[in-house]
Chains A and B, each alone.
Chain A
């Protein structure tokens, strides 16, 4: 089947999509966007987290056809104009990236969390950060640096927004 959807603001059209395929497979194997990672294919790890119509979801659990006509946002869409997104920069600066496999999913989940909190004029509380990232597994960092990165990103983005 044919699939058309908007990915990171660009209209994408792909043919010969198998009906049982996931959005994750389409992104990685058909659209040349391998940023979203495939680690479990069962919604457990969050490394495939993307925005679907503005909400973070596991791309591995979205049937390709369900994305027809929808807006998808992947980690590739975070950085604008060759500059790292503040969330990406914060992950680097805080040492929250080791093997990097979980990073794309964490970046999207963090971007969503920080975006929502700042829109309400506040920084995310620690409990909220833990809750928001509960669906993203990392086998390397032990999460402390990830929490640091989220706080750093929120601080910097709040600063920028002022």
Chain B
């Protein structure tokens, strides 16, 4: 096995082009489990932890550009104010040790339907910035997931960053698991309100072959909220309940060791209704941010 350690982004991208079979390793929290258990024996590991560009985030024209290699602990600590939805999701990931290493870039490249960053990124309409020697492209996150643990990333590409316009309204993240730490989601739901563009963002986790949005639920709710954004009036409980049903209707879950499809659908309707209730209550108070 070869251990490749580029120290610049250009070198990383060139190395990946020269060795498309090289397996990138960032926090290693997915890769090393597979290596330790003999499930992965790549000819080459491509260590990305020495590429400074990947460890940074910045904002350009109000858009947060989050380097693929920023660990969750920093997303929570440094971006909790700007991206509360992603930070909430990040807080549910693994344990402190895992959050000190694991990255959003790694979560994206693994593209597990249960990955916790996905629902938050979907709800926020994030874009994934991927790059190769051929150039850079931005992929709307909803198009990034192409199948169970499959993504739009080509063999010679690396995830450079994820670009997120901080949603202008409240965000929520809800996850079902057996305990508060160290659980793969049985089902998860991310919500973002976008009062600036009178829209609603959703993300479903662990209840379909890929993370996905619930477009019918988004449209329904945007329609219902049309008269409420300005008045900040109370949300009729029936609206929240219907939203929950529509979110559940967008899922296509399976039975597995973690839960049954029926339970997942039910859980989603409850999580969607509750997160909407919390987010709307926060919106009514006129607060748009909570970390």
Interface residues of A (CB under 8 A from B): 1, 18-20, 22, 41-44, 46, 49, 55-58, 60-63, 65-66, 68, 109, 131-132, 134-136
Contact = CB atoms under 8 A, between A and B. Distances in A.
B97 A58 contact: yes
10 contacts: A43-B95, A60-B36, A61-B27, A61-B29, A61-B101, A62-B101, A63-B32, A65-B45, A65-B47, A132-B96
A43 B98 contact: yes
Contact of B37 (A19, A41, A44, A134): A41
The 10 closest A-B pairs by CB, nearest first: A135-B95, A134-B181, A19-B1, A19-B3, A65-B3, A41-B36, A61-B32, A55-B100, A42-B33, A135-B97
Nearest to A48: B97
Interface of B: 1-3, 5, 25, 27-29, 31-33, 35-37, 41, 45, 47, 49, 73, 94-98, 100-101, 180-182
A65 B73 contact: no
A19 B100 CA distance: 22
B32 A135 contact: no
B249 to A, nearest CB: 34
A39 B27 CA distance: 20
Contact of A61 (B5, B33, B96, B181): B33
B250 to A, nearest CB: 31
Nearest to B32: A61
B101 A20 contact: no
